[in-house]
Structure 1
Amino acid sequence: MSKVILITGGSSGIGKAIGEFLLEKGFIVYGTSRNPSTVENSKIKLLALDVRNSESIKTCISTIIEKEGKIDVLINNAGVGITGPLEEIPLEEIKNNFDTNLFGPIETMKAVLPQMRQQKSGLIINVTSIAGYMGLPFRSIYSSSKGALELITESIRMETKSFGINIVNVAPGDFATDIASRRFHAPVIKGSAYENVYQTQLNMMNEHVSCGSNPIEMAIAIHKIIDTKNPKIHYKVGAFMQKFSIVLKRILPDKMYEKILMNHYKL
């Protein structure tokens, strides 16, 4: 029987690319969107799901189990970007980011684990970010929400391994998607101490996304993980220098690494 895949945030960007690729490979694929009725010409089945709402999560997963009798793979892909000087990001936006990028995936894992335990098998893939391996200027909230999910994965995979369940992280670098248009940007405040430097960083971040890699690279990587009997804990997908930056952080003294980042971001 074909494996049943659930991808949160499957209506655009990386999630859409993954869903369409896996569908072509013969998997039964369900994607999610907060408003599926607004998504045109989706090749994969889309169900309503808001990862910030526990009942929405439970309803979505119950619908799939009722129809398919199982869920083999959960891909926690739904997420949002956020930028700004920490001092100037509204607290409600910080909470919304953690609700989406961290607490949402946690709730989704909690909702799907009973079914996977019953099956005595399952795979959960948490899509994090290379930015989650380091604190980046003006991306403090995004880096920390994704970094927290990396550590949650390390913990929960040990708790669930005896049930035949694998849980892994996949950290993408910059990919050419519409995330820049959907992320929350703290406004550039005229006269702020951060006005000029933040505007420069905002331009650079948007440029990096628009010049990013093809999302199909993520789809290929996810497919390989699904086909791997004993997957690794951490995967990184992206440009060589983005992945190498993690290695540098591991081996260089903290202040030297900080200086490299500050030079890169012209701070």
Structure 2
Amino acid sequence: MDIQGKVAIVTGVSKGIGLETVKQLLAEGAIVAGWGRTSPKLEDTNFHFFKTDVSDWENVQSSYKATSDKLGKASVLVNNAGMGYQGLIHEMDVAEWKEMYDINVHGLFYCIKVAVPSMIELGEGHIINISSIAGTSGIKTMSGYVGTKHAVRGISHSIFQELREHGIKVTTIYPGSTNTNFFDSIELANANDNMMRPQDVANSIVQSVQTFPNYHVVDLEVRPLWPKGNPNK
């Protein structure tokens, strides 16, 4: 898709992969609606922030209407908003478990639900869903988060079959460890320079969107080459 002048919605834009994706979409000429609880420190005439809690269905509907009224129909949706808690299954806090599913799964559904009708009208669209390596396997003490990311994968694989006839692509990205604030509340690891850079993940997202209309990137798994550091240094 040629994204010059096209409207793109990105969720979870305050920092990390979401913010880097916004910057790169803007650099390619897109008009970007940033949805999130906190506005990023970013000023650009083509960037518009809409305060949004993706876990709130009413709020998502309001944000999409405000986005459409101000910018027009969105051709791109990047579902980046997500979070995780760590804990053994029998010790997991019920409220934290529910919050993960409300944001990572229900929020994904809400955003797709509001965006797809306009994409069908346009006859084109691209939905990028950010899963995780955790969406392909199990991780001890991360069952709740892993479950949400498996759900993202299953939803994505199903809806791409529903939407392809309308010219809408659905791509799922599975990043490995990325140097973002995600690890601030996770004991498995601390964010460090051996992890991937969020701007590189964002670059893969934008490149997937810019592919030829009949070329569909369904799944894209990305990992750090040297997760424990370059052995040659």
The normalised TM-score by structure 2 is 0.88
Return the letter of the residue paired with 1:19: V
Give runs of ≥4 in structure 1 deviating > 3 Å. 39-44
Is the 8 Å Cα contact of residues 11 and 46 (structure 1) preserved in structure 2? no
Match of 1:210 in 2: 192
Question: What do residues 57-80 of structure 1 show as CA deviations (whole Å, max 9, x unaligned)?
Answer: 111111121122210100000000
Please tell me whether residue 160 in structure 1 is matched to residue 163 in structure 2. yes
Match of 2:144 in 1: 141
Work out the CA distance in 2 between the residues paired with 1:50 and 1:56: 6
Return the letter of the residue paired with 1:217: D
Return the letter of the residue paired with 1:206: A
2:224 aligned to which of 239, 253, 258: 239
Question: What do residues 17-37 of structure 1 show as CA deviations (whole Å, max 9, x unaligned)?
Answer: 11112111211112122143x
Match of 2:211 in 1: 228
Is the 8 Å Cα contact of residues 11 and 34 (structure 2) preserved in structure 1? yes
Return the letter of the residue paired with 1:227: Q
Residues 131 and 5 of structure 1: CA distance in aligned 2, closer, same or farther (over 3 Å): same
Instruction: State the secondary structure of the residue aligned to 1:176.
Output: coil
Instruction: State the secondary structure of the residue aligned to 1:81.
Output: coil
Q: How many positions carry a matched residue from both structures?
A: 219
Work out the CA distance in 1 between the residues paired with 2:226 and 2:38: 37
Percent identity reads 30
Deviation at 1:215, TM superposition (A): 0.7
Match of 2:107 in 1: 104
Instruction: State the secondary structure of the residue aligned to 2:83.
Output: coil
**Bigger mean CA offset, 73-82 vs 233-242:** 233-242
Q: 1 or 2, which has the higher helix percentage?
A: 1
Is the 8 Å Cα contact of residues 11 and 42 (structure 1) preserved in structure 2? no
Deviation at 1:100, TM superposition (A): 0.6
Match of 1:188 in 2: none
The normalised TM-score by structure 1 is 0.78
Q: For 1:65-214, what aligned pairs fall within 5 Å after superposition?
A: 65-181=68-184, 183=185, 202=187, 205-207=188-190, 209-211=191-193, 212-214=195-197
Instruction: State the secondary structure of the residue aligned to 1:73.
Output: strand
Match of 1:247 in 2: none
Deviation at 1:145, TM superposition (A): 0.4
